[in-house]
Structures are given as C-alpha cells and as structure tokens.
A and B are shown apart, each in its own frame.
Chain A
Amino acid sequence: MEVALSVVAVGLILLVSVYLVDVADTAIGYSVSGMQGGVASWKAPLVTAARLMLRRRTETERPDREAWALAPPLLGGLAAVALTAIPLSAGLDVADIPVGIVLFGAAMIQVMVAVFLHGWGPNSVFPMIGAFRMAAVGLSIGIPFSLVLITTALPAESLSVGVIIESQQDLWNVLRQPLGLPIYLVTALGFSFWGPGQLPDGADLAGGTNVESSGPALLVWRVSRAAVLVAVSAMGTAAFLGGYLGPALPGWLWMVAKTAAVALVLIWTGHRIARVRVEGMVRLGWLVLLPLALVDVFVSGALTL
C-alpha cells in the first residue's frame, strides 16, 4: 500500500511539474520571440496533448518495435526513479534511500540508454545519428556529472540526499564547492538534452530520435524529456542550494521554489543559448569539465579532511 501511494505521489508530482515546465517553456518562448495572440501559455500543454492523443502511431520499415515502444516510458520511468531519491522536505520523501545520490546518478546515466533505444528503434537515419550523439555526449559528460554530485557527499559523510541537504545548514554547497553547480548545470543540460545540449533531438536532425515518432508515443517522449529536466532541477536544488532549507516558509515550499528557479534557468537557457556542436560538447566534457570536476573533488576532499 505504501509503495503504491509512493508511486502515485511521484507520478502526480512529475505530471504537475512537467505541465508547469511546458507552460514556462511556452511563456518564455513567447517572450523571447515577441509573439502574441497564441494559445494561452497555461493551456498550451493541454491542447497540444489532446492533439497528439488523436493521432495514430506511425510505422517505419522493419523497426525494432520493442525498443522503440520501450524508450519513451523508460525515459519517464528513469526520471521518476531519480526523483524518488530527493526528499521534498525533512522526513517527507518517497523512499528514504541511504545511497540516494548513487541511485540518482545511476538513473541519469541510464537516460543515455533510453535515448539510444529511441534512436535505434525506428530503423531510420536521423534517429540513429541522434542515438550516436547521445552516446558521445553522455560518455563525455557522465563522469564530471557524477563527480560533482558525489563531491557533495563529502561534507555530509553520507550518500543520502536528505543528509546532504542537512549538511548545508550552515553553508550551501553552491558556496562551499563553487565549481560544483556550474558543472552540474552544464552536464544536466546534456542529460536532459535541453537547449544547448539538445543534440540527440536537435533541429539539424529535424527532431533527431523523435523524427519518426507521432501521436501518443511522441507525447510520452516529450513528457518524459520534461520529467528529466524536473529531476535534474530538483537534484541541483538538493545537492547545491540547500534543498528544503530556508527560513519562515515550510520546507517543501522552499524545495519547490528553488527547483522551479533552477528549471527556469535551464528553460531560459534553452531559448537564449545556441546548440553546441557535438565535437564542442565532447571536448568540453573531457578537456574542461572533467579536470574541473577533479579539482572540485580534491579541493572539497582536502577541506573536509
């Protein structure tokens, strides 16, 4: 019963968050473009979802049907699993996992698999290139992404996300480990393939891994992608911005507000910063972010000792 309640709770939180991500994305898009007169931002996700629900799923020639069908729910499921590791407030979590940060990292690395399957499934050129790109990008940024997250466990002396949040009572990790949050946000854009990191589904691939998708399958893919953005925003809040810690207001409200702020930064970046070249992203990962992440680990480790 408790498990069922947890699943429902995570599902509801994700659905509401995804809806709000889409509303914010539409509103920021309108603002940047100066467009007026479109469907109201708050209603946009609803009507678009209805439109997609009415369309049939398309078939390609000799697809890997299982992989293609599995990828969208797998991506959403990974976002949900990642979210279970993050407490909404002190004692208010879906699952009190002592190695929550490892679970989160493992789920995010598997995003690479979901995107690869989504590109592999339809047996088509652009989706396949999108899949290659996710593999290249994921391998390049995966290590710095994981390193900066694990580094937040050093002062907490625990891999539990709740304990990591509590360890920031005196000083948030964004100040204690100043390299951590910038590296995390850049790599998070890669894992959520959003904005500058939208390489697997880029417009230069006419949609990349989703170029052959339509109807409900496309809807689930878009929802899942937004869910990943919510998950990385929530973890960014928990690991670097003190999570639910804050004065006066209830903890869950601080957590929601900070997560929304991080998500808004990522969404805004998507509309204002150009997509990075694949080679640029790979070089950035191996030559810049990885050394900086190692510095982050060594300096934070030394300070903790």
Chain B
Amino acid sequence: MGLRRRLGSLAESAPVAVFPVVGAGARADVARLRLRPEVELVDSPRHADVLLVAGEFVPGEVPGLAQVHDQLAPPRGTVRWGERLDGLDPSTPTIGTQDEVVAAIGSVASGLYRDPSISESPLLPDVDPVDWRGVGPYGHGGTGMTGGTPYGRPMVERAPDRDGLELDQLPVTVGPWIGSLPPGMTIHMKLQGDIIQEAEVLELVAGPYCPDLFTLALSSPQRVEDMELARASHHLVWLGEALRVHGLPALGLRALRLSQKLGPDSARSVRRLIQTVRRSGIFQLALRGVGTLPDSGLDGLGPVSRAHGREDDARLDEPAYRELGFTTITHDGGDAAARWRQRLGEIDQSLDLAGRAGALTAFGAGVVESPRGRIEPEGAQPSSLLKGRLAVWLTGLEWGDAVTTIWSLDLDPITYLPVETGARQ
C-alpha cells in the first residue's frame, strides 16, 4: 500500500473541509451545517477540499464564483445545494436535505482522496486581467512609485492618514465570499495599514426572497409561539456566526445547536449560554465602544433601533402581545455591545413569550416585526435600509472593528429579486 493510499484512507475519517458560497434562503441551513461532525466549514477557499454552492442565485450571475472555485487547492470538487446554477457542471445533481448534502460532500471528498486525478479543472484561464500597460516612468501606469493599474491591478497610492501623515493607501476588494463577512457582501475599500480610509459596500443580487414565518404573517395571522421561537432561533443562528468571527467557534456551535432544537423549555439552556457569552469578556474585549451609530434614521430597524433606547417595535400595537404584557427591551449606547445585549435579551424574552402564548395569534395585515426589524408588504428588507449608510460608518475603522460593526448589525447583504425576475423564473 503506497503512502498516498494510506494517507487517503486516514483522510477519509477526517471532517471534510468545505467552503460555502451561500445564496438566497440558505444562510441558516449552511450555518447549521457546522453542527455536522462529518464536515468542517472553513473561512478561506484555500483551506477547503469541497466547494459548496448553496441557495438560490440569479442564473449566470454569481459574482466571484469561478474565482473562488479556482482558489481551492487541488484536488477539489463541488457540491450544489439547492437550485441549479449556470456556469457550473450541469451534471451535478441538485440536493435537498442536510443529510443528502453531507453524504454528497463525503462522497466527493472520498473520491478525491482516493483518486486526485478526478479533481475539477480551473474554470478561469491563468492570465492577467489586462495587459501590461507600460505607461509612466516605471511602466506601471502611475506616477512615481505608486498609483496606476499594472496588469489591471491597482497599485498603492499616497494619501494623508487620520493623523495627517502621507502614507501608502491600498485599494482592495473583499468579498463576496469570505468567512469573515456575511455571505454576499463585497467591500471595495482603500486601506492604510488596517484602517479603512474609504469604503463602498456592494451586495449580492440573488433570487427571490424565500418566505418565512414573518413574511407569511404579512398576509395571514400566525401563532405567537411559533413566531417567537423563530425569532429566538434567528438570533441564535446570528449569535453562532458572530461568536465564530470573534474567536469563539465552540461557543458558536452551542448557539447553533440550541437554535436547531428550540422550544419554550429551552430557556434554561439558552440562559446558561448567554451567561457563558457574557463571561467570555466579549463585551469588554471586543464590543464596547465599537460601531456606535448616529442616533437618526434607525426607525424600523428592530434590535438595532432598540439598542439606541427606542421603543420601536410593531409588536406593541398587537392585541395578542398586549395580552401577554409585552414591553420592549431597550439598551442605551447604540454601539456593538448594546446591539449584542439587545439580541441576547430578546432571545430570552422570546422564549418567555413563546412559553406563555398558548394559541394566541398576531399580525396578518399591515406591518410585522421580524427579527431584523419592521417589514411591510412590498417593502424593503429591514437590513437593506442600513446598507446605504454602512460605507460611511466603516470609514476610519480598523478592519477588526469594521467586522465587529458589520456582524453587530445582523445584515442580510442580498438584494432579492421579485419572483417573476428571479431564479425560479
């Protein structure tokens, strides 16, 4: 038995390293894939064996997908979870359930370990985006030693930093598929060291919004218990992802595990988790004073607004919630710490409401309070209201603080197309 075969047989017992590209309607499902011991979701495509393309996209318009595919080190393979996409091998079957996707990932990885020659070929040619321009004193198209776009790639420029010094400024693009940002978000920015001097935030254009309990509540009343459990579950999935990004992946898995089996009797386990999160020092070490937002223009943004001390909650107008004695939880400060505290408090509150709601129903017309804020028929998703201003808030932040700010806002960086123009056409 050769060494490669021995290694291959050992490697088959290892969790398969998977890099996810997540489109519409798949974010929570992909996050919960982390709970499967057979797979390990990784933050960089370089660390992955298998590329997982999950959720819905506009056919033929998946930005950066081919680049991400080619960044996986050979031997590599692809598994698709959800609707079929243009631009990838059409013979790959569409997969439905979590068990099916885990089995498919395992099968693709085993094949690669046994026979690396079946590795997928690059999708893009290994050439520079544009030719060498040969302009300027150093042939790079700029002036002095900076500027210009040799081979189509922008060089560093000189610009004053926040202390007034002239320092190198590097134009870079991050996203849309990188583990440290919500899936689909792209940031074009100019960095001085690790400080963002200019930013432009782009979002992914994807298929139709996948209806959830809260969008259904726009047209028909829904049980309060179901909605509050869904709200708590949403916040726990957010917590799971945010803890991972802040260096606490194991605690994040605990949050994801709880989100999967949530019931009114989960309150004790959830409170224990929240206590552990508080004891992790994350508020003092990472969140306090970071990403403080201006006080205006936050109406209808749910936890983000309430973390500014506003009693901004559509549930206050609902008879069913009034019957339950619902009052809004608010926090002061408007920084990342306040937004985290807000959501942790709302998880606990939602489980309490779910436990007492019985058969009560709420909403059915008008506006609905979703986990990210107020939604209306034909209205934009709440987090999309934030996106236009995000670039301003990120400017001047150190990269780590920018990431903290982004995750504390619980953004969904996807612009959903109407059904008639989307992937289900």
Binding site for B on A (CB under 8 A): 28-30, 32-39, 43-44, 46-48, 50-51, 53-58, 61, 125-126, 129, 132-133, 195-196, 198-199, 202-207, 210-215, 218, 270-280
Instruction: Name, among A57, A58, A203, the residue most crowded by chain B CB atoms within 10 Å (CB to CB).
Output: A203
Chain B residue at minimum C-beta to C-beta distance from A129: B194
User: In the complex, are the beta carbons of B250 and A204 less than 8 A apart?
Assistant: no
Whether A132 pairs with B193 at a CB distance below 8 angstroms is yes
Q: Does B145 contact A (CB under 8 A)?
A: no
* Chain A residue contacts of B253, Cβ below 8 A: 33-35
CB distance from B21 to the nearest CB of A (A): 14
> What's the Cα separation between A30 and B257 when bound, in Å?
12
Q: Which stretch, B24-32, B230-238, B279-287, touches the partner chain A? A: B279-287
Q: How far is the CB of A94 from chain B (nearest CB, A)?
A: 30
Given the interface contacts A54-B4, A54-B113, A133-B194, does A34 sit within 8 Å of B257 by beta carbon? yes
Contacts of A274 in B (CB 8 A): 246-248, 280-282, 285-286
Cβ–Cβ contact B73 & A58, under 8 A: yes
Interface residues of B in 274-298 (CB under 8 A from A): 276, 279-282, 285-286, 290
Given contact pairs A51-B11, A277-B286, A280-B285, A214 touches B246 in the complex (Cβ within 8 A): no
A33-B44 in contact (CB<8A): no
For the complex formed, measure the closest distance between the CB of B195 and the CB atoms of chain A, giving whole angstroms.
10
Nearest B-chain residue to A133, judged by Cβ:
B194
Q: Are B290 and A46 in contact (CB under 8 A)?
A: no
How many of chain B's residues have a CB under 8 angstroms from any CB in A?
Answer: 60
Give Cα distance in the complex from A28 to B172, angstroms.
37
New contact pairs (4) apart from A33-B257, A196-B281, A203-B180, CB-CB < 8 Å: A32-B250, A33-B249, A203-B247, A212-B46
B-side contacts of A210, CB under 8 Å? 44
Is B399 touching A54 in the complex (CB atoms < 8 A)? no
Contact A204 B46 (CB under 8 A): no
A218 touches B47 (CB 8 A): yes
Contact of B37 among A39, A61, A275, A276 (CB under 8 A): A39
A61 proximity list for chain B (CB < 8 A):
153
User: Are B285 and A196 in contact, with the CB atoms below 8 A?
Assistant: yes
**Nearest-CB distance from A217 to chain B (Å)?**
10
B200 part of interface (Cβ distance < 8 Å): no
Which residue, A54, A61, A196, A212, has most C-beta atoms of chain B within 10 A? A54
Distance A48 CA – B109 CA, assembled complex (angstroms) = 13
Binds A, one of B365-373, B385-393, B400-408: B400-408
Closest 6 CB pairs of A and B: A275-B247, A38-B37, A50-B10, A33-B253, A274-B282, A47-B14
A274 to B248, CA, bound (A): 6
Closest chain-A Cβ to B10's Cβ sits at a distance in Å of 4
B348 at the A/B interface (Cβ < 8 Å)?
Answer: no
Q: How far in angstroms is the closest Cβ of chain B from A119? A: 11
Closest to B3 in A: A53
Q: Does B191 count as interface, using CB distance less than 8 angstroms?
A: yes
Given A32-B254, A277-B290: A51 and B73 within 8 A (CB)? Answer: no
The answer on a CB contact under 8 Å between A51 and B247 is no
Can you give 23 contacting A-B residue pairs, CB < 8 Å? A34-B253, A34-B254, A35-B257, A39-B14, A39-B15, A50-B7, A53-B11, A125-B172, A126-B174, A129-B399, A133-B194, A195-B247, A199-B400, A202-B400, A204-B245, A206-B44, A207-B42, A214-B47, A272-B276, A273-B281, A275-B286, A277-B285, A277-B286
Looking at the assembled complex, report how far the CB atom of B52 sits from the nearest CB atom of chain A, in whole angstroms: 16
Which residue of chain A has its CB nearest to the CB of B13? A47
Residues of chain B with a CB closer than 8 A to A199's CB: 400
With known contacts A33-B250, A48-B14, A203-B245, A273–B174 Cβ distance under 8 A: no
Contact between B170 and A125, CB atoms less than 8 A apart: yes
Distance (whole angstroms) from the CB of A25 to the closest CB of chain B: 10
A45 nearest CB neighbor, chain B only: B14
Known: A274-B285, A275-B286, A278-B194. A214 touches B73 (CB 8 A): yes
- Could you tell me if B14 and A51 are in contact, using CB atoms closer than 8 angstroms? yes
| Pairwise interchain contact B251-A33, C-beta atoms closer than 8 A | yes
Interface code B55-99, partner A: CB below 8 Å = 1, 0 otherwise?
000000000000000010111000000000000000000000000
A211 to B399, CA, bound (A): 15
CB-defined contacts of B281 to chain A, threshold 8 Å: 196, 273-274
**Contact of B8 with A by CB under 8 A:** yes
Chain A residues with CB under 8 A of B153: 61
Neighbouring B residues of A48 by C-beta, 8 Å: 14
Residues of chain A within 8 A of B174, CB atoms compared: 125-126
Our pick among A44, A57, A206 for the contact of B73 (Cβ within 8 Å) is A57
Indicate which residue in B14, B44, B75, B113 contacts A211 across the interface (CB closer than 8 Å): B44
Q: With a CB–CB cut-off of 8 A, which chain A residues contact B47? A: 207, 213-214, 218
Query: Interface centre among B44, B179, B249, B404, by most A CB within 10 Å?
Result: B44
CB contact between A215 and one of B71, B73, B252 (< 8 Å): that residue: B73
- With A132-B194, A133-B194 already in contact, the answer to whether A275 and B246 are too (CB < 8 A) is yes
Residues on A with C-beta less than 8 A from B53 are none
Chain A residue nearest to B282 (CB atoms) is A274
Does B136 count as interface, using CB distance less than 8 angstroms? no
Residue among B247, B250, B251, B281 having the largest count of chain A Cβ atoms under 10 Å: B247
Bound-complex Cα distance A213 to B73 (A): 9
Instruction: Say whether, besides A203-B247, A205-B399, A277-B285, A39 and B13 are in contact (CB < 8 Å).
Output: yes
* Residue of A30, A54, A55, A129 with most chain B CB atoms under a 10 A cut-off: A55
For the complex, what is the distance from the CA of A76 to the CA of B234, rounded to whole Å?
A: 42
B199: min CB distance to chain A, Å: 14
B178 touches A206 (CB 8 A): yes
Interface residue ranges of B1-41 to A (CB < 8 Å) = 4, 6-8, 10-11, 13-15, 17, 35, 37
Contact check: which of B11, B43, B178, B254 meets A33 at CB < 8 Å? Answer: B254
* Residue-wise interface mask of B (386-423) relative to A, using a CB-CB cutoff of 8 A (1 in contact, 0 not): 00000000000011110110000000000000000000
As a 0/1 sequence over residues 306 to 317 of chain B, the CB contacts with chain A under 8 angstroms (1 = contact) are 000000000000
A275 near B285 (CB under 8 angstroms)?
yes
B161 to chain A, nearest CB (A): 13
Closest residue to B398 on the A side, CB-wise? A278
Write the nearest CB–CB distance from A200 to chain B, whole angstroms. Answer: 11
Q: Tell me whether B398 and A205 are in contact (CB under 8 A).
A: no
- Whether a CB of chain A sits under 8 angstroms from the CB of B144 is no
Which residues of chain B come closer than 8 Å to A54, judged between CB atoms? Answer: 4, 7-8, 11, 75, 113, 116
Interchain CA distance A17-B8 in the complex, whole Å: 25
For the complex formed, measure the closest distance between the CB of B277 and the CB atoms of chain A, giving whole angstroms: 9
Q: Given A51-B14, A274-B247, does the pair A35, B74 have CB atoms closer than 8 Å? A: no
**Cβ contact within 8 Å between B400 and A204:** yes
